[in-house]
Amino acid sequence: MHEMGIAEGILASAIEGAGGASAKRINSVNVTIGELTQVMEDALQFAWEALRTGTIAEGAELNVTMLGARSKCADCGHEWFHDRYSGARCPSCESYVVLLLQGREMKIDSIDID
């Protein structure tokens, strides 16, 4: 379950960030995850709740924003949302020269601390 490793990374970064701001506790952590990372939000929440115990993030909510995969065609400029199988070819002009605009994100947007 790779969500456990991701949750560990988020928690470590949040605690590090909060430590730098000499926080007493972390109230919430906001993250953005692209759908192409194949992260399951439920599994990530489960891992988060298991890992945060005993840390300054013990009561912290993990707010996840899932981003759908979106690509842009380099030939005709068409932009479309897709899953991980249908992003290789432009549905408008059938070009294979496409650029992934979003879908592989895995980042912490903000941390709310006291």
Residues near Zn ion, by CB under 5 A: 73, 75-76, 78, 90, 92-93, 95
**Nearer to Zn ion among residue 12 and residue 76 (C-beta):** 76
Angle formed at CA 23 by CA 19 and CA 29, multiple of 5 degrees? 85
Supply the minimum distance, in Å, between the C-beta of residue 80 and Zn ion.
Answer: 9
Supply the minimum distance, in Å, between the C-beta of residue 88 and Zn ion.
Answer: 12
**Nearer to Zn ion among residue 95 and residue 110 (C-beta):** 95
Phi-psi region of 77 (alpha: psi -120 to 50; beta: other; left: phi over 0): left
Which amino acid is present at 110?
Answer: S
From 67, 65, 68, 93, select the one nearest 81 (Cα to Cα): 68
> Using alpha carbons only, how large is the chain's radius of gyration in Å?
17
**Nearer to Zn ion among residue 39 and residue 73 (C-beta):** 73
Supply the minimum distance, in Å, between the C-beta of residue 70 and Zn ion.
Answer: 14
